[in-house]
Structure 1
Amino acid sequence: MVEEASQAEDSVHVRDFGASADDPGDQAGAIREAIDYAITHRRSKVIFDAGTYTLTSAVTNEGTANRDWSSNHLFIGGCSGLTLEGQCDAEGNPATILEGYNGGENQVYLPSILWVSHCDDFALRNVKLTRSLPYSSAGVITDKGGHYVVVEVFEGNPVVDGMACYCANRFDLTSGTLVGESVTYGTGAGTNWYRTGSSSGRAMRLDSSEVARQVAVGEGLSWHFGSLTDFQLQFEHCSRLTIDNIHTSSANGFAMQTECCSDVKAARVVFKPEGSLLFTAPRDAWKIYKCSGDFTITDMHVEGVRMDGQNMHSTFLVLKRVIGRRTAVFHAKWNYAPLKRHTGFEFWIGTDTARRTVDTWRHDGYRNGVNVYTVSFTDDLPDNVSVGTNAVPQCWSLSSYSLDGGQFRNVAGCGHVVRYDNVRISSVTYANLMNQAIFIGCEYPGFHEAGHPKNVHIRGCSFDNCGYTPRMGAVGAIGINADGFDGPYMDGIVIEDCLFRHLDTGTDISDAKRVTLRRNRYEDVRTRYRLDDNTTSDLVFEDD
């Protein structure tokens, strides 16, 4: 009893601040009050009831560099040791739902449901995130001509006059599986849906010869309101983060991102459409970006996303000017991220590497589409560095990543994109993925996504109907390729005890050395291995 009383005194309940589950009115303001009270009074836990919390109002995060991402239903910044905890149903799934606003406009930024910034030892448990309206719709194709398609929208899905058609995908409705390449991508169809006459009132027509050319009557079709780079659940600059029993059923943009975070533990993370929806999100399920430390994940389910289930990467720093024996200027694409004193720096000189340690650094601003850094090292720059040499800082790269158990299904992209060292993926099933189930390697042209992975171990996984559309210079269930480079940049990849089924290509290998495939099984696989003899070495094949 004493322990229960102590725990109660250390907790804050959102209902005590006026937040009511299953009330259709806005609950965001009351939840924000509860969170602010917990932080101010050093309470460690904010508790939610079971039910749906409608979130309509938003606050502005003034610290966000990109103003498009500054609107948040719930924002938490600069705290330590806080937990947000929902309830579970009888099966152990989240019974607390945070429902973000979607007004049904096309290609607009929406408030993030939760944005957590600079919070150490933060935990999120037993919560489902979704949108109302759902951010996608879906139905069955009932008619088509040379220049049009008619869809009967499934009951429960949005029927919105003028809804756009971004990131559309086809489905075999008998098996519930993704079919073929995406019908539309991030630029949409160039025309919008409109209601057409039917007794149900759920018929929608799209006047597009390009879409009509790719689909068939009787197929399922899914599409989204937009495809912007937006983040429904964002964690940035958080250390020792816990993500436990978090489900997403509908998301705008990226369903979740961890950016510049370190040491993350996650379990029972699910991205899966519900009801009659076929897709969860028009972008990645969970992006790991410029993170460090150890990421440990158990039981992850990804279904119905356009682009990747999980893309983990850093960004190459490109040397632009040497200004002393130990100092150089570097450019980096995309978002600003701080460097750290004493962090390691890995320079790539051809396929060789040299390491240095940062002594001092400064950010010289964002100019002409790149962030400019001046970095001084504790020792002289490596020999043979020159303008254009690429480097990756250790503080932007994981020490290790592991996923044990999970399912990736109906993904119009890759399942995993691996660009870090020391990766372990085990006991995961991949089925019906447009691109590779697992892609290992960088993507340099246009993106500068780093790096060149070493020590990657894939064990006890199954791959079924994956990689039928090439991407980043590779095909197959597993693609290994340093996109934009030529030579054995990657080192130490082991693929063992896996099952490959219904594939054109099992594993596509280039730009790597010391790759081992052992005790793998193959059923209905046309080509087990596809090799680039010019960029690979020390390959070992010990399959059954």
Structure 2
Amino acid sequence: MKYIINIIFSFLLSVGVNAQIKVSDFGAFPNDDKDDLKAIQQAVIALKREKVKTLIFEKGTYDLFFEDVSKTKGIDIYGQHNVTFLGKKDGNNNPKTTLLRHYKIKNNVWGKSILQVVGCNNFKLKNFIFDNYPRYSTAGKVVVNSGESIVVEVFSGNPMVAGTMFYCGNSWDLKDKTLLPVESITYGAEVSKNAKEYTWEIYNKDKREMVLNSPTAASKVKVGDGLSWHFGYNGIQVSFKQCNNLHVENVTTYNAIGFGMEARRCGNITSKNVRFQAPENQLAVGSRDAWKIYASNGNVLMDNMYIEGVRWDGQNVHGSFAFVHEVLDDRTIWFKKKYDAFFNISKGSSISLSKDNYTKESRIVESCEKRKVDGHFAGFVVRFTEKIPDFVSRETIGMVSDWNTKSYILKNSTFKNIAGSASILRNSNSVVKNNSFSYIMYPLTIGGSIREGEGVVPDNVTISSNIFINTGWISRHTKKGAIVLSNWKSEEYELSPFMRNIRITNNTIKNGEIGLDINDADGVSILKNKFQNVEKEIVIGNAINVKVNVKGDYK
């Protein structure tokens, strides 16, 4: 009898530990053109009863109807650990489950997330496609340019909506389907300020032609150019917040409202086979970063990622600088950071305090609490376990280890046709290897942005065995090239702490004005790189202890 009871108990325990729940059990079925949002959310709520659980989605399209894309909540999951969202895939690991958001187009809305995951440790997202209907971008070919206006033939399958605006516009070589090596036609804020000039109207519905009465835009394009643009530039489509041990695998984004993905204050992130790529006749995916990683720590691995057709950066990895607002006593500093977003700093972590551009001292955090600065929650008071250095003043820049990755590896990935930087590294202990970068407007950028408050200034970075083709034709942080080491300085602070221990090895750089532009660094090894059709191969500015292997760096 005791043996039978043990078997029953073990069975019940196993069910609780490894529960699988199907969204179909709650009324969510693919390909039926019905709203599945509420049913999926009910399935998410049902997961709370289990310890380790998998939510099963079938092959096909799940329709999510957003009455107002700026207000309607998508799929939200809070505080549930050990959860897997599992879609279907084919034999080549391509995702076959689509989450399709339906909405009404409005100009420059802040799009709510399709999926938001908050405080969920060991969360896995596998085998999904994220998309919008209609897509929040469009594309076509310039067929008329009068000098005062342009007419564009919108490609089949792309939205053609009167009254939409010309955000984040870019021009393309349609023969090769690549970005033209010019600056973006429009960005964000200036479009909102000049709405009349940057609003599209229908010109000939039967011919799918739209007209833009903008002399500014007309001066930047010619007949025959491809043109892509978006209807806004705000929002986060897939959001992960405060999730430790996050795993994202076989996930594709066809179209995004704002950022494709963001991982904010997460620890230990693994990404495999994640793609941001426009399908069919669409040229661009989204108007912001494909995947932003902010204030995250632990080990981050990005393997076999593909990013094509985003307006700003492919991947931006950064925390925030801690600027000294006031020294309260010999162990306590009232810090401030740019913008309001704040995450706690863990007891036992450290903050490095820059004495000058070359030296810094670290102190261990004993406690941390929020305190407003100038009416905003951009301030925090930190008490340290020992006395702070005598040099600390309002000019001191602090770098928070708790908002910095322990390690970051980007490998075996492809970045193409990005009207921004493919990758921005503002975190230490980073490796970028075996990747391909082509037709990227800005450089691969390594360094802190003191002006924007984005840090840290990274140490211990290796850029190895990558290929760069037609990249870096527009400056970022005042510097231009395929690979740039440079901080973006601020008028408020004289300091610009140097990066240390940077290795740039075995890369191939083809076609460009500048290969490497080295600044704000102490200890750089440039070894065995190859340059083809590059006007200035290596430019060394304000940097010291730079070692260049001359033989390996020329043809």
Does the pair score TM above 0.5? yes
Change (3 A) 1:377 1:418: same
Which whole-Å CA distance do the structure 2 matches of 1:169 and 1:239 have between them? 37
Among 459, 463, 475, the residue aligned to 1:458: 463
Shift of 1:58: 7.9
Shift of 1:40: 2.6
User: Counterpart of 2:271 in 1: which secondary structure?
Assistant: strand
Among 176, 181, 184, the residue aligned to 1:182: 184
Change (3 A) 1:54 1:89: same
1:441 matched to 2:466? The reply is no
Which whole-Å CA distance do the structure 2 matches of 1:340 and 1:217 have between them? 57
Among 9, 16, 25, the residue aligned to 1:16: 25
Change (3 A) 1:427 1:535: closer
Among 397, 412, 433, the residue aligned to 1:390: 397
Which whole-Å CA distance do the structure 1 matches of 2:129 and 2:258 have between them? 17
Paired residue total: 529
Contact 2:302 2:409 in 1 (8 A): yes
The equivalent of 2:425 in structure 1 is 418
Shift of 1:252: 0.7
The equivalent of 2:353 in structure 1 is 347
User: Counterpart of 2:39 in 1: which secondary structure?
Assistant: helix
Q: How does 1:120-131 map to 2 (within 5 A)?
A: 120-131=121-132
1:408 matched to 2:420? The reply is no
Q: How does 1:55-204 map to 2 (within 5 A)?
A: 55-57=64-66, 71-179=72-180, 180-187=182-189, 188=191, 190=195, 191-197=198-204, 199-200=206-207, 202-204=208-210
Which whole-Å CA distance do the structure 1 matches of 2:397 and 2:102 have between them? 42
Shift of 1:519: 1.2
Q: Which residue identity lines up with residue 540 of structure 1 in the other structure?
A: V
Among 327, 332, 339, the residue aligned to 2:337: 332
Which whole-Å CA distance do the structure 1 matches of 2:447 and 2:260 have between them? 23
Bigger mean CA deviation after superposition, 135-144 or 381-390: 381-390
Q: Which residue identity lines up with residue 395 of structure 2 in the other structure?
A: G
Which whole-Å CA distance do the structure 2 matches of 1:69 and 1:103 have between them? 10
Shift of 1:368: 4.0
The equivalent of 1:374 in structure 2 is 381
Contact 2:259 2:286 in 1 (8 A): yes
Contact 2:74 2:114 in 1 (8 A): yes
1:537 matched to 2:545? The reply is yes
Among 287, 311, 315, the residue aligned to 2:316: 311
Q: RMSD of the TM alignment (CA)?
A: 2.0
User: Counterpart of 2:73 in 1: which secondary structure?
Assistant: strand
Which whole-Å CA distance do the structure 1 matches of 2:111 and 2:373 have between them? 25
Q: Deviations over 1:192-232 (max 9, x none)?
A: 111112543x110011000000001011000001012x100
5+ long unaligned stretches in structure 2: 1-9
Q: Deviations over 1:337-395 (max 9, x none)?
A: 11111111111111211000011111124644551111110000012011131112211
Q: Which residue identity lines up with residue 325 of structure 2 in the other structure?
A: K
Q: Deviations over 1:69-102 (max 9, x none)?
A: 8753100000110000100124321100011233
Q: Which residue identity lines up with residue 351 of structure 2 in the other structure?
A: F
Shift of 1:482: 1.5
1:44 matched to 2:46? The reply is no
User: Counterpart of 1:72 in 2: which secondary structure?
Assistant: coil
Change (3 A) 1:463 1:313: same
User: Counterpart of 1:514 in 2: which secondary structure?
Assistant: strand
User: Counterpart of 1:16 in 2: which secondary structure?
Assistant: helix
Which whole-Å CA distance do the structure 1 matches of 2:524 and 2:70 have between them? 41
Which whole-Å CA distance do the structure 2 matches of 1:295 and 1:403 have between them? 8
Among 427, 442, 445, the residue aligned to 2:434: 427
TM-score with structure 2 length normalisation? 0.92
Among 254, 263, 284, the residue aligned to 2:259: 254
Contact 1:345 1:391 in 2 (8 A): yes
Shift of 1:465: 0.7
Shift of 1:103: 1.0
Q: Which residue identity lines up with residue 520 of structure 1 in the other structure?
A: N
Shift of 1:35: 1.2
TM-score with structure 1 length normalisation? 0.94
1:215 matched to 2:217? The reply is no
Which whole-Å CA distance do the structure 2 matches of 1:281 and 1:367 have between them? 34
Change (3 A) 1:370 1:467: farther
The equivalent of 1:276 in structure 2 is 281
Which whole-Å CA distance do the structure 1 matches of 2:18 and 2:380 have between them? 47
Shift of 1:38: 1.5
Shift of 1:162: 0.8
Contact 1:253 1:281 in 2 (8 A): yes
Contact 2:397 2:495 in 1 (8 A): no
Change (3 A) 1:47 1:198: closer
Which whole-Å CA distance do the structure 2 matches of 1:157 and 1:94 have between them? 23
The equivalent of 2:6 in structure 1 is none
Contact 1:193 1:206 in 2 (8 A): yes
Contact 2:166 2:231 in 1 (8 A): yes
Change (3 A) 1:148 1:37: same
Change (3 A) 1:9 1:540: closer
Contact 2:17 2:52 in 1 (8 A): no
Contact 1:101 1:111 in 2 (8 A): no
Which whole-Å CA distance do the structure 1 matches of 2:103 and 2:407 have between them? 37
Shift of 1:521: 1.0
Change (3 A) 1:399 1:58: farther
How high is the sequence identity, in percent, across the aligned residues? Answer: 31
Shift of 1:39: 2.0
5+ long unaligned stretches in structure 1: 60-67
Contact 1:28 1:58 in 2 (8 A): no
Which whole-Å CA distance do the structure 2 matches of 1:33 and 1:487 have between them? 51
Change (3 A) 1:488 1:371: closer
Shift of 1:111: 2.3
Which whole-Å CA distance do the structure 2 matches of 1:531 and 1:210 have between them? 36
Bigger mean CA deviation after superposition, 370-379 or 151-160: 370-379
Which whole-Å CA distance do the structure 1 matches of 2:535 and 2:124 have between them? 46
